[in-house]
Amino acid sequence: WAWFVGLDAEATRIGNTLWAGDELDPEAAKRVIALFRLTFSDTGEVLPQVGARPVWLIMAMTPDRTIRMKPQNLVAGLPFRAPGTVN
């Protein structure tokens, strides 16, 4: 996989664990409530290291079963090229 976006702090922690190649503990795995696969129709709009590969969006709940989604993570975390960047 080339990229992920944690849609909340817990999901970011889980994604970072997986990104590092570590195994999730069973309790953390149970807290994942949604896993979305995002692909871009125009790969020229995304960073070259992502290209046509999917971006994974993760949403998770805290240990006390609360969802604290951070919508700004979606906007700030997507692998778009900088405006004006040429292929």
57's enclosing H/E stretch is strand 55-60
What pLDDT is recorded for position 47?
A: 95
- Quick one: pLDDT at residue 75? 86
> Taking the model in full, what pTM does it have?
0.88
Q: Which pLDDT tens digits describe the chain residue by residue (87 residues)?
A: 899 999 999 999 999 999 999 999 999 999 999 999 999 999 999 999 999 999 999 999 999 999 999 989 988 999 999 876 655
Domain positions in the chain: 3-77
